[in-house]
Structure 1
Amino acid sequence: MARKSRKQETAMAAPLMNPEDSIYLCGIYGRLSLVNSGKQDEGDSIENQLSICSRFVDGQPQMRLADTYVDNGKKGTTFERPEFNRMMEDIKAGKINCIVVKDYCAIIGLNQKDLENQGILA
C-alpha cells in the first residue's frame, strides 16, 4: 500500500479564509513633502488625501478605520517620518492590517532602485 503525504493532509485540513468575510482594520496614511498650506483647493493637500481615503473606507463594508497617520512636511525619500514609523509599529502590533493611501507616493517617494536596495522590492 502506498504511503500518504502528511503535508498534503495538513494542507487540506486547514480551512481557507474567505476574503469577503474578513474585516480589515485600516490605517489611513497621508503625507505631503511641503508643509500643507491648508488651502482646500489643493488636490494633494493633506485634507484632500484624508477625505478621499475616508470616503473609500466608509464605502467598503469589510473595512473599519482604526487610525489615521499624517506626516506633514516630510519627504518620501526618507523613512524618518514619525507617523509612518508609528503606523509600522501598529502593523507589527496587529492594530491595523491594511493601509489606505490616496496614491502610493504618499508612502513611497523612493525610486525602484532605492526600494530594491532597502529590501522592500525584489
Structure 2
Amino acid sequence: MEKDKKVTALYCRLSKDDGSAHESLSIRTQKAMLMEYATRNGFGNCQYYVDDGYSGTNSDRPAFQELLDDIRDGKVATVITKDQSRLGRNHIETGTYMEIFFPEHGVRYIAINDGYDSNEQSQMDIAPFRNIINEMYAKDTSRKIKSALRTRKKSGKYISSGAPFGYQKDPADHNHLVIDPNTAPVVEYLYSLAEEGLGLHRIAKRLHDEKVLKPCYYKKEMFGRFIDDE
C-alpha cells in the first residue's frame, strides 16, 4: 500500500484502571485532541480505533486487536494516542509494541501528552520508565477499587447492578434492597411448593401450567432488552 494512502490511527481507550472518568480522559476529549493534533501536524487519512470500557493492563481489546491486524496488513503509517497509558498499562507489552512491533512494521508512534515520537531517538530513554509508572498506577487503582468494594460489602451494602428476583433496589438507597410487591408473591409460592415436596421439574410444570410469569418478563418491562413471547 502506498504510504500516502496508509491510515493515521487515532487510538482511544478508557476504563476503570484509569481512576475516575475525568472529562480530560473521556473518549470524546481524546478524539478531539487526537484529531486536532493530526490536523495541525499534517497527518491525513485519520481513522479512530476506540476501546471504551477496556483495561489497559492487557491487549485483549477489540479495537486494539483490529489496529494490530491493520498494522500487520500494512494499512497503518502512524499511531497516535493521548499518552502512553492509552496504548497500555502493562509495561512489558506496551514496551514490546513501542520498541519492537511498531518499528518492525514501519509504524511511527506518537504519545501527545508525553511528548513521545518514535522518530525522535532521544525520547526512547524515558519511555520505559513511563510504562512502568503507568502499570503501577493501574495496580494501585485496582487495589483501591477492591478495597472500597470490600468495605461496602462488610457494611452490609448491596453492590450488584440488579436486584435478585423478589426484591428491588430501594429508591432512596441503591445499595439497599426492599421487597418487590410484584414478584415477592411468586417467590413465596415457589417456597410453598417446595415445602409440599415437589421437585424442580414438577414446580416448573406447575408454574408453566398456571402461566406464572417468568423473571425475564419483568426484566423486559424494566430494561426493554429481554424478549420472550411465552
TM-score (norm 1): 0.65
Q: Give the superposition deviation at 1:25.
A: 3.1
In 1, the alpha carbon distance for the partners of 2:59 and 2:7 equals: 23
Question: Does the aligned pair in 2 maintain the 1:28–1:65 contact within 8 Å?
Answer: no
Q: Equivalent residue for 2:9?
A: 27
Higher helix content, 1 or 2: 2
In 1, the alpha carbon distance for the partners of 2:7 and 2:74 equals: 9
Q: Relative contact order, CA 8 A, sep 6+: which one is greater?
A: 1
Question: Out of 30, 48, 73, which is 2:29 matched to?
Answer: 48
Large movers: runs of 4+ above 4 Å: 118-122
Residue pairs, 1:82-121, within 5 angstroms: 82-111=62-91, 114-115=92-93, 119-120=96-97
Q: Which one has a bigger Cα radius of gyration?
A: 2
- Could you tell me which runs of 5 or more consecutive residues in structure 1 were left unpaired when the two chains were aligned: 1-21
Identity fraction in percent: 25
Q: Give the superposition deviation at 1:76.
A: 0.4
How many residue pairs get matched? Answer: 92
Question: Does the aligned pair in 2 maintain the 1:52–1:102 contact within 8 Å?
Answer: yes
Q: Equivalent residue for 1:59?
A: 40
TM-score (norm 2): 0.36
The amino acid across from 2:47 in the alignment is D
- Could you tell me which runs of 5 or more consecutive residues in structure 2 were left unpaired when the two chains were aligned: 101-230
The amino acid across from 1:79 in the alignment is S
Question: Does the aligned pair in 2 maintain the 1:66–1:96 contact within 8 Å?
Answer: no
